[in-house]
Amino acid sequence: MKDSPLIVALDLELKEALALAKKLDPRDCKLKVGSQLFTSAGPELIKELSTLGFDIFLDLKFYDIPNTVEKAVKSAMSLKVWMINIHASGGSKMLKAAVKGCRGDKRRPFLIGVTLLTSLDKPSIRELGITSKLQDHVLLLSKLCKTNGLDGVVCSPNEISVLRKEMGQEFILVTPGIRSDSSNKHDQSRTSTISEALSRGANYIVIGRQITLSKDPPKEVDRIIKLVSGLD
């Protein structure tokens, strides 16, 4: 397996996150640091995880006026992270500002847009005033991201197939809401299994609680890697 598609979501407290990271192998997975962990631990945690050899997906979903987002992306770049995300619904000006913030580094991180959170179901989306079909809205936001220079998007498993067809093979698709057949969906609404997501065309799958809440997280990662390897 060339590049592991597995991203482990470290939605944990600082001590738990570091303890888990030290048990995992950077060759098997990348690590996602979201707002919970970053808010409590700050940039120093990113540096420590990078020292362990991990590629870091900084999942802070920047969403603000263009100038602020540009500066936030620049700050994130200084941490030498592997991937950064922003909300696609911020519009073209914000997306272009984020891309501008990524310039100036030969080894710049991937910049991807968040389409719709996988916790949102149809009633929730209607509350937001979105009347188009969910898949159509995700496709619209994905095209907006590509037009403005982003590398890909975060999407639910349900949209992978149509996005892969419409956006091409080079467009990166990062997919949360991934579970094994028997695992709990927790607060995710639009989910799928590992094999389904990868076979539809996802580049990376984000798995959190299935790993972090397991009795033996390294063993669970190993099980997932073996499953992924069997799909190659």
Query: Whole-angstrom Cα distance, residue 174 to residue 97?
Result: 22
What's the rounded Cα separation, in Å, for the pair 145 and 151?
A: 8
Closest by CA position to 33, among listed 51, 52, 55: 55
Distance CA 81, CA 102 (A): 11
How big is the chain, counted in residues? 232
Write the burial class of residue 44 (CB in 10 Å: 0-12 exposed, 13-18 middle, 19+ buried): exposed
Q: Report the distance separating Cα 59 and Cα 182, nearest Å.
A: 27
* Catalytic residue list: 61
As given in the structure block, the two tokens for residue 161 are 């197939």
